[in-house]
Amino acid sequence: MISDTAPRQRKVRILATLGPSSADPAMIRKLYLAGADAFRINMSHGSHENHQQVIASIRALEKDIRRPMTILADLQGPKLRVGEFADGLVQLKTDSSFTLDSDVSPGDASRVTLPHPEIFQAIEKGARLLLDDGKIVLRVTKAGSAAIETTVEVGGPLSNNKGLNVPDVVIPMAAMTDKDRADLTFALDQGVDWIALSFVQKPEDAAEARKLIQGRAALLAKIEKPSAVKRIDEILEAVDAVMVARGDLGVEIPPEDVPPLQKQIIEKARMLGRPVVVATQMLESMIRSPTPTRAEVSDVATAVYDGADAIMLSAESAAGDWPKESVAMMDKIATAVEADPSHWARVHFTETLPDSTSADALAEASNGIAQTVNAHAIICFTTSGSTARRVSRERPSVPLLVLTPKLKTARRLGLLWGAHSVHTRDVNNFEQMVDKSKRMALRAQIAKGGDRVIVMAGVPFGTPGSTNVLHIVRLAGDELKRHTEAEIERDG
């Protein structure tokens, strides 16, 4: 059996997408051993039956290794597409005219149907329409209720049902389709820990999803549209985490604008204490190659230096030829970056100012105290996970051990920078808190006899959001021997 106590040495988390290359239990175990901290289920592909089997495999692994496993279900969101062509394929010539209309008849080189009435309502003259992942660019010359006339700025081949991006306007459509609602119900019934919401344009989209989720999972907003970037501060307030989804974002904005936006979103998320995931094409070449390009390695390293909570693999682990190797490579890159002496300073370029609460004050102080007294770990007792999120926001230099009586909380913390969560029985008084802190620090191998650890909790115990205690504890040399087997067993 794998140890349930020893935390990863790496603090940034790895989120691995599961798919045809990695859906069987043996491969899921290999991905975990290679460094995956959380698993993404892409609801755009596969059946509910298949997803149910994958989720069951993750939970079986969780039970076997006695470690909370984090599962994120990623909703597909609306997919905007053009209609079909009479010959299946046309060639759009630069500077030619092209019309998108409500006529359902097959298209040709001059027109095609657009089965999305919401776009007709919102589009304006001068706006861009991007087809086939941005390979074809149209500029609107006339906007009508039944037809949109455009000039082809960048031409090329266009075939049936190719995707459409509308970067310059907010489209009056919900972020969730009927499929998404069905997928959401399924995912919640399966007990997933995070829901990723696609096509977020405004904070109201997140509010709608949160209402449907009803607290059964945490909510992550994928930032992939310019309209979401413009309202990022409001969206961050409305969600539990965000993802810099660079795929669609890189289609709708110039590619040279993506790196600075990535840094800005990471910084804003960290300032608010929201976990932030960097995703898409991080090790793209490893879909077919056992090694990445040097540029991809640098890309992953940049996200780690910026202090992202998690970095994500998409097709590399879901459908590629080298899923385990992709995870292992990401783990090696992140570990090497965190070993760089300059990493500490770079991660703290972002100033995370605490709110005027005792919990924030103690969380901020914990990192400085750890350095001053040479503590070997920070240990948080938490019910909701809020204490752990506050401490993690400070990016402490020592391990962060999170003890919680709620398995749901332990699972959700799998996307949190540096957090090693343990599902354990709660404590009822100060003495129990100190004793359990010592036992768990030794069992997790983050401290030894004679070392100091910092303990944070809320009194009265078991009250969410009541963090008001910071205590420095020194471990005795024979600490584990001083406790009975029954006490250790009660830890859970």
Q: How far apart are CA 471 and CA 437, in angstroms?
A: 10
Whether 81 is a known active-site residue: answer yes
- Residue 304 · residue 295 · CB < 8 Å: no
Per annotation, catalytic residue among 8, 30, 81, 406: 81
Whether 40 is a known active-site residue: answer yes
Q: How far apart are CA 148 and CA 219, in angstroms?
A: 36
Per annotation, catalytic residue among 67, 210, 222, 395: 222
Q: How far apart are CA 492 and CA 489, in angstroms?
A: 6
Whether 463 is a known active-site residue: answer no
- Residue 2 · residue 23 · CB < 8 Å: no
Whether 280 is a known active-site residue: answer yes
Q: Following DSSP, what letter does each residue of 127-157 receive, concatenated?
A: -EEEETTTTEEEEEEEE-SSEEEEEEEE-EE
Per annotation, catalytic residue among 70, 99, 150, 280: 280
Tell me whether strands 218-223 and 89-92 are parallel, antiparallel or unpaired. unpaired
Q: How far apart are CA 274 and CA 64, in angstroms?
A: 30
Distance spanning both ends of the chain, measured CA to CA: 16
Q: How far apart are CA 333 and CA 87, in angstroms?
A: 48
Per annotation, catalytic residue among 11, 29, 40, 438: 40
Q: Which of 240, 241, 242 lies closest to 223 in space, CA to CA?
A: 242
Q: How far apart are CA 366 and CA 373, in angstroms?
A: 11
Q: Which of 259, 192, 151, 156 lies closest to 51 in space, CA to CA?
A: 192
Catalytic residue set: 40, 81, 222, 280
